[in-house]
Amino acid sequence: MKRIYLDHAATTPVDPRVEEAMRPFWADVFGNASGLYEEGRRAKEALGQARVTIAKLIGAKPDEIIFTSGGTESDNLAVFGSARAAMGTPPSSSKPGFETSKKPGFFPLGGVEEAARFHIITTKFEHHAVLHPCEELEKRGFNVTYLEVGGDGIVDPENIKRSLRPETVLVSVMYANNEIGTIQPIAEIGKLIKKYRISNFSLPTSHFPYFHTDACQAAGYLDLNVNKLGVDLMTVNGSKIYGPKGVGFLYVRRGTKISPQILGGGQEMGLRAGTETVTLAVGFAKAFEIAQSERESESNRLTPLRDYFIEQLMKKIPKIVLNGHPIKRLPNNINISIPGTGGEEMVIRLDARGIACSTGSACSSEFSEPSHVILALGQSREIANSSLRITMGRNTTKEALDYVLDNLSDIIKQHD
């Protein structure tokens, strides 16, 4: 049997339709989108159309779409940008009182006493692209609340409500978890934040606390209408939806004030300097268009496969633990722990049999620490260390899953 790829949460192959849409922009339409001449105008038109396409799909305006290099940059821009805007730090080192950071890659924030006036809310099982910026802000004086999640991997909106303070500048909760696939009640959280703003500031939107969600994993399966979700900031990237790597966007609702983290020519509405990669933006827009148009049919196809695999797995290997909510999870996500085994060992042994899967986040694969997501569920380090993430895609079939079931069962028997 040919290789079976089951790590679509890490990355996806580029859809042939996306590849076709990108082809002219590698060499024919190569101009700089800031150029006033014809080549530049053609590139700018294509970039603008990509922005329009994405905006329509999420119920936004084109100037609310900021292209970035991917999910990590978008998350960093949302977190650091909100924090810096709250503190009113000038975006130029030429301004008085602006202290240059000694640590490359992080913006200066001023004094710890000033930072201590501000507060951020997030959860313990966010992607590290959100957690690490929050931890960095904490070192610089910010107050950060890391909310617990339930054993099923669902955030309780009431805990967010209880944690809100007048000094809260940002709430960041991911739409669907990248490891266990649990889907969070983002719309419900959005409503309570809006209600909080109205009761405290008489303003429904465009006022702190801003609400950010990382929707990278959700983009291929869930509705991303920003008005229904009630978000001010939303992260999406291309590599999870059969688009090109190295491109993403941050949705920034009009009136939401964030400060840029990359300074230069002032591209992307002044929030992300640098020559725009038109080719990637065009491919991303096409991939996003396909993903959103096919999300319901693909979800309906994958959900029974997911449930079938979990059911059969439990029959063959009773000791397996399912991580996350059994139903409120992405249709393509299966995350299990096999007590008495090592997750990395299982990945290697499955790979030898032509099966590609992972232990968790691909962004953390170089580190052998147990999954912080599984630990956040209240599970032991043993369960966290033995986790296995299987994420299906457009080409996944029942026959492929049966092959995985047989081989996984055989490996466990040999291990025992």
Phi, psi torsion values for 168, nearest 5 degrees: -70, 125
Show the CA angle centred on residue 369, arms to residues 365 and 370, nearest 5°.
100
**Running DSSP on this structure, what letter comes out for residue 220?**
G
> Which amino acid belongs to residue 69?
S
What CA–CA distances, in Å, run from 204 to 63, 170, 190, 230? 20, 15, 10, 10
Phi, psi torsion values for 42, nearest 5 degrees: -65, -40
Instruction: Round to whole Å and give the CA distance between 149 and 189.
Output: 14
**Structure tokens, 407:** 């081989």
Pick the closest to residue 358 from 336, 327, 378, 340 (CA basis): 336
Instruction: Round to whole Å and give the CA distance between 130 and 134.
Output: 6
Instruction: Round to whole Å and give the CA distance between 172 and 166.
Output: 16
Instruction: Say whether 357 is catalytic.
Output: no
CB 153 within 8 A of CB 180: yes
Instruction: Round to whole Å and give the CA distance between 235 and 58.
Output: 12
Within 10 A of 229 (CB to CB), how many other CB atoms are there? Answer: 25
Instruction: Choose the catalytic residue: 134, 216, 357, 363.
Output: 363
Instruction: Round to whole Å and give the CA distance between 368 and 362.
Output: 12
Q: What is the bridge-based pairing of β-strands 333-337 and 387-391?
A: antiparallel
Pick the closest to residue 171 from 215, 124, 123 (CA basis): 123
Q: Which residues contact 111 (CB under 8 A, 6 or more apart)?
A: 141
Active-site residues: which are they? 363
